Structure formats: structure tokens, C-alpha cells
Structure 1
Amino acid sequence: MTQRLSPGDVAPDFTLSDDTGANVTLSELRGRKVIVYFYPAAMTPGCTKQACDFSDSLASLREDGYEVLGISPDKPEKLAKFRDRDGLTLRLLSDPEKEVLTRWGAFGEKKLYGKVVQGVIRSTFVVDEDGKIAHAWYNVKATGHVAKLRRDLGLDRNGDDA
């Protein structure tokens, strides 16, 4: 059984290559809130929908003090194609060894079409300014997740605030 993270846990630090080949280290983002989301594979329908939703919301999330990092087992070259193909603006990180996925509880047993398999568990975390897990969601749905996340974080803008 994969160990899962809970609110209050220290977020496991990592350094991963992004879609441009640059390294991104989580601890270097201290002082900001960071949404870290794990997804199975670039350029698949559900992952594309989720990445586009995050990308479309990125400006308003940043206004609210959040940075967004998407992590998958894909190599940086595939992530660059994904970014370019879909006009994505968020940082996509590569974890081909699945070490970070595993440490965050986002890789392990899951059900796929009724069978138990090993794979990426679609998960989203909010890391607070001090590097602790503020929220942890496992087995999230790709479609509608960003809207739900915004509601859960109290960031839903229904036109009633400027």
C-alpha cells in the first residue's frame, strides 16, 4: 500500500526537469502556495482536459498567490510537445522514474476498468507557504477538477468580486 500524504505533513521536496529541460525544486518556491498535481500521461484525453483547465485558470490562481506544477512520468520532450500542441502555460514536470510520484502517494495500486493495476493515481495537493501539505486529494476526476479545487479553496469567482 502506498503511503498517502495528509494535511499537516511536510511536502516531500523534489527537483525535476520541466518541459523546457530546466530544473524545478519545490523548496525554492517556499513563501508561495503551490498546487502540485499528478496525472498519468500527456496527450491523453483526460489529462489534456485537466491540463487545459489548469492552464486556463493559471492567471487567476497566480493572482490568488498559487503556483501550479503538473507532474507525470513523461519525459521532458513529450511534455514540450504537449505544451506546444495545447498551448499550455503551466509548468509540466517529468518524473520518469516515478520516485516523486511514489513519495507523494500518487503511484501505486488502483482500479482500472475493474482490474487492480499499478499506475499513476490522479492526485492534487496544495502546499502552503511553509512547505506543508494544506490539502490532499487522491483519485480525482480529470474533468471539472479545477473548478472543484477553486471552490474548495474559496477561490470561486462568480462575478461578485472585483
Structure 2
Amino acid sequence: MRLYVPLTLGGLAAAFSAAELPAPLTVYAVTPALREWYAAGDEEELEYAAMAQAARASVGLIAAEEGVVRRRVVLACEVKSVPPAGGDRELGDARLDLSAGLPWSAVQAVHVDATQAIEIVTQAVDSWDAAQKGDEDAVFALDACEGQELLWYATQEVPDLLKEFGGG
């Protein structure tokens, strides 16, 4: 099963250094609630939707920390199985809360914003709190991030990525 883990570049540096993603952990995956919401989607589209939710959650993590580099980070991890989501999930929700951490060996790829996305991500980060309260302009700024594709990196590229993007 593919899991998508939202992080900041600092979180990526810490996970890489520790060789694990410590518990508790919020991840995103193709859940029954997501399948039901997007019934016409094939597996690839469902995976993309789960990753998009993880990327959005990364904006929230960036907003919660001072001085964080404003680039969304999502790890794609492969695991054998995960516990089912609780019954309190909304239709379309891909979020899962894990009580166990993940070893770094589960990480299959790292997705990070390109330099061109920094301005849009910064606007989304600055709008995060207002968007959570339903402010339409703030939600629009947050939604604008979804138009920015994340770059793909192999796990062996992480040290160079952290040097390049200032996360390590």
C-alpha cells in the first residue's frame, strides 16, 4: 500500500538523519472514503488525489513552524498494510493516523516543490489560518498550490536535495 507523508524540508532532514519517521504519524492513502468519493477514478487518479491531500497538509506543517523553507514535501512510502481509517472520516478523506512510525526503508520517493512554486506556496502558508476558518480568498490561495506539480526525487538524492533547497 502506498502512503503519502507530508513534511517540511526540516522534517525531511530529521527523518533522513534518524532513518525513520517517528510515531504518531499522519499519512494519506487511498482510503475507502476516498474511493467512494472518487468512484470513477482509476488507481493512478486515486493515488494522485491522496498525494494532493498530503501536499495540502504540508502547507499546514510549514505554517505551524517559524522560519521554515516554504516548499511542500511529500514522501511516498510503500508498506504491506495499515490499519483502517476510523469511521469519523468525511467522504473523500485520504487521511490516516498511524500509531507506529515508519522506517526510512519504506520511503520510495520524495516529492518537493520547484523554485517557481515558492511564491504561491508562501501565499498559501500565509493564508493557512484564515483558510481553516473558511475565508474564501484564503482558500483560493491555498487551492492555487494544487496547480503546482511537485518534483520527484529518488531517496539517494535526499542529501543533495537538502543541500540545494536549504533543508539540511
Give the TM-score of the pair, scaled to structure 1. Answer: 0.29
Give the TM-score of the pair, scaled to structure 2. Answer: 0.28
Larger strand percent:
1
Larger helix percent:
2
